[in-house]
Amino acid sequence: MQADSAAMNAPASAAPAAATADVPLTPRQQQALDTVLAERGALPGALLPVLHGVQDALGHIPPAALPAIARALHLSRAEVHGVVTYYHHFRTTPPRGRVVQICRAEACRSMGAEALMAHAQAAIDAQGCDTLEAAYCLGLCAQSPAVMVGDRLHARMTPAKLDALLAADPSAQSVQGERA
Amino acid sequence: MSTTLTLHVPRDSAALAVGADAVADALHAAALAHGVALQLVRNGSRGLLWLETLVEVATPQGRVAYGPVAPEDVPALWPALVADAAGMPPAHPLRQGVTDQIPYLALQERLTFRRVGVTDPLSLDDYAVHGGWAGLRAAVGMDSAAILHEVTHSGLRGRGGAAFPAGIKWKTVASAAVAPGATKYVVCNADEGDSGTFADRMLMEGDPYLLVEGMAIAALAVGATEGYVYVRSEYPHAVATLTEAVARAAAAGWIGDNVAGSGRAFRLHVRMGAGSYVCGEETAMLESLEGKRGIVRAKPPLPALEGLFGQPTVINNVLTFAAVPTILAEGGAFYRNYGVGRSHGTLPFQLAGNIRRGGLVEKAFGLTLRELLYGFGGGTVSGRPVKAVQVGGPLGTYVPESQWDVPLDYEAYAAIGAVVGHGGLVVHDDTADMAGLARYAMEFCALESCGKCTPCRIGSTRGVEVIDRITLNRDQPVVRDQQVTLLRDLCETMVGGSLCAMGGMTPFPVLSALNHYPADFGL
**Domains, chain A, with CATH or none:** 5-86 (no CATH), 99-173 (3.40.30.10)
**pLDDT tens column, B179-219:** 998 999 999 999 999 999 999 999 999 999 999 999 999 99
Q: Is the peptide bond before A145 cis (omega within 30 degrees of 0)?
A: yes
Residue of A nearest to B51 (CA): A143
Distance from C-alpha of B480 to C-alpha of B476, rounded to nearest angstrom: 6
Of B348, B286, B288, the C-alpha closest to B322 is B348
Rounded to a whole number, what is the distance in Å from the CA of A110 to chain B's nearest CA? 5
Q: Up-side HSE of residue A135: CA atoms within 13 Å toward CB?
A: 33
Angstrom CA distances, B148 to B173, B268, B340, stand at 11, 21, 22
Parts of chain A with a pLDDT under 70 = 1-21, 169-180
ipTM for the whole complex: 0.95
B415 at interface of A, judged by CB pairs closer than 8 A: no
A156 neighbourhood in chain B, CB within 8 Å:
18
Residue B3: pLDDT band (50, 70, 90) is confident
Q: What are phi and psi of A148, to 5 degrees?
A: -125, 125
**Are B49 and A179 inside 8 Å of each other by CB?**
no
**Are B14 and A105 inside 8 Å of each other by CB?**
no
* Residue A135: per-residue pLDDT: 96
**Are B193 and A106 inside 8 Å of each other by CB?**
no
Rounded (to 5) percent helix, strand, coil in chain A: 50, 10, 40
A178 at interface of B, judged by CB pairs closer than 8 A: yes
The closest CB to that of A2, out of B235, B432, B452, belongs to: B452
**Are B295 and A90 inside 8 Å of each other by CB?**
no
B233 neighbourhood in chain A, CB within 8 Å:
52, 89
The closest CB to that of A155, out of B17, B271, B428, belongs to: B17
* Residue B107: per-residue pLDDT: 98
Do the Cβ atoms of B112 and B322 come closer than 8 Å?
Answer: yes
SS3 B95: strand
**Are B295 and A1 inside 8 Å of each other by CB?**
yes
Q: What are phi and psi of B62, to 5 degrees?
A: 110, -175
**Are B52 and A79 inside 8 Å of each other by CB?**
no
For testing contact with chain B, the best of A5, A81, A106, A165 (most B CBs within 10 A)? A106
Do the Cβ atoms of B399 and B372 come closer than 8 Å?
Answer: no
Do the Cβ atoms of B60 and B66 come closer than 8 Å?
Answer: no
* Residue B2: per-residue pLDDT: 52
Q: Is the peptide bond before B68 cis (omega within 30 degrees of 0)?
A: yes
- The set of residues, in sequence order, having a beta carbon less than 8 Å from that of B72 and lying 6+ positions away, is none
Q: Which long-range contacts (CB under 8 A, 24 or more apart) does B67-76 make?
A: B67/B94, B67/B96, B68/B18, B68/B94, B69/B23, B69/B94, B70/B18, B70/B19, B70/B23, B71/B19, B71/B22, B71/B23, B71/B25, B71/B26, B74/B23, B74/B26, B74/B27, B74/B29, B74/B30, B75/B26, B75/B30
SS3 B210: helix
Do the Cβ atoms of B283 and B297 come closer than 8 Å?
Answer: yes
Torsion of CA A53, A57, A62, A64, to 10 degrees: -80
Mean pLDDT of B431-450: 97
Do the Cβ atoms of B391 and B418 come closer than 8 Å?
Answer: yes
* b/e code B240-251 from CB counts within 10 Å (16+ = b): bbbbebbebbbe
Distance from C-alpha of B428 to C-alpha of A144, rounded to nearest angstrom: 12
Mean pLDDT of B127-147: 98
Q: Is the peptide bond before B397 cis (omega within 30 degrees of 0)?
A: no
Give the pairing type, strands A152-154 and A147-149: antiparallel
Give the pairing type, strands A99-103 and A131-135: parallel
Do the Cβ atoms of B441 and B460 come closer than 8 Å?
Answer: no
**Are B353 and A105 inside 8 Å of each other by CB?**
no
List A residues 63-122 in contact with B (Cβ-Cβ < 8 A).
Answer: 73, 75, 79, 82-83, 86-90, 103, 105-111
B458 at interface of A, judged by CB pairs closer than 8 A: no
Q: What are phi and psi of B39, to 5 degrees?
A: -105, 110
CA B376 to chain centre: 18
Diameter of chain B measured on Cα atoms: 82
What number of C-beta contacts closer than 8 Å exist between A and B? 166
Enumerate helices (H) and strands (E) in chain A, giving the number of each. Answer: 9, 4
Distance from C-alpha of A140 to C-alpha of B15, rounded to nearest angstrom: 10
Rounded to a whole number, what is the distance in Å from the CA of B203 to chain A's nearest CA? 12
- List the Cα angle B330/B332/B335 in 5-degree steps: 75
SS3 A16: coil
Ranges assigned E (strand) in B374-504: 386-391, 398-399, 424-429
Mean pLDDT of B77-81: 98
Task: For B355-404, give the secondary structure using H, E and C.
Answer: CCCCEEEEEECCCEHHHHHHHHCCCCCCCCCEEEEEECCCCCCEECHHHC
* Residue A168: per-residue pLDDT: 84
Q: CB A158: neighbour CB atoms within 10 A?
A: 13
Rounded to a whole number, what is the distance in Å from the CA of A38 to chain B's nearest CA? 17
Ranges assigned E (strand) in B191-345: 224-231, 267-272, 313-317, 339-340, 343-344
Distance from C-alpha of B60 to C-alpha of B88, rounded to nearest angstrom: 9
- Give the H or E element holding residue B348: strand B346-353
Mean pLDDT of B386-403: 96
B78 at interface of A, judged by CB pairs closer than 8 A: no
The closest CB to that of B18, out of A45, A75, A143, belongs to: A143
Give chain B's radius of gyration (CA, Å).
24
**Are A144 and B352 inside 8 Å of each other by CB?**
yes
Task: For B136-193, give the secondary structure using H, E and C.
Answer: HHHHHCCCHHHHHHHHHHHCCECCCCCCCEHHHHHHHHHHCCCCCCCCEEEEEEECCC
- Give the H or E element holding residue B350: strand B346-353
Domains detected in chain B: 4-106 (3.40.30.10), 124-336 (3.40.50.11540), 339-429 (3.10.20.600), 434-521 (1.20.1440.230)
A164 neighbourhood in chain B, CB within 8 Å:
none
Q: Is the peptide bond before B301 cis (omega within 30 degrees of 0)?
A: yes
* Residue A21: per-residue pLDDT: 54
Amino acid letter for position B121: P
DSSP-assigned letter for residue B485:
H
Residue of A nearest to B298 (CA): A2
Rounded (to 5) percent helix, strand, coil in chain B: 45, 15, 35
SS3 A11: strand
Give the pairing type, strands B313-317 and B184-190: parallel
Query: For residue B325, is pLDDT > 80?
Result: yes
A52 neighbourhood in chain B, CB within 8 Å:
233, 272, 274
- The set of residues, in sequence order, having a beta carbon less than 8 Å from that of A104 and lying 6+ positions away, is A113, A114, A117, A134, A135, A136
Angstrom CA distances, B39 to A177, B7, B32, B82, stand at 21, 6, 12, 13
B201 at interface of A, judged by CB pairs closer than 8 A: yes
A83 neighbourhood in chain B, CB within 8 Å:
291-293
B424 neighbourhood in chain A, CB within 8 Å:
141
Mean pLDDT of B480-509: 97
**Are A47 and B122 inside 8 Å of each other by CB?**
no
Give the pairing type, strands A99-103 and A147-149: antiparallel
Q: What are phi and psi of B336, to 5 degrees?
A: -60, -30
- Give the H or E element holding residue B97: strand B95-98
Distance from C-alpha of B169 to C-alpha of B178, rounded to nearest angstrom: 16
Of A98, A95, A101, A109, the C-alpha closest to A134 is A101
Residue of A nearest to B393 (CA): A106
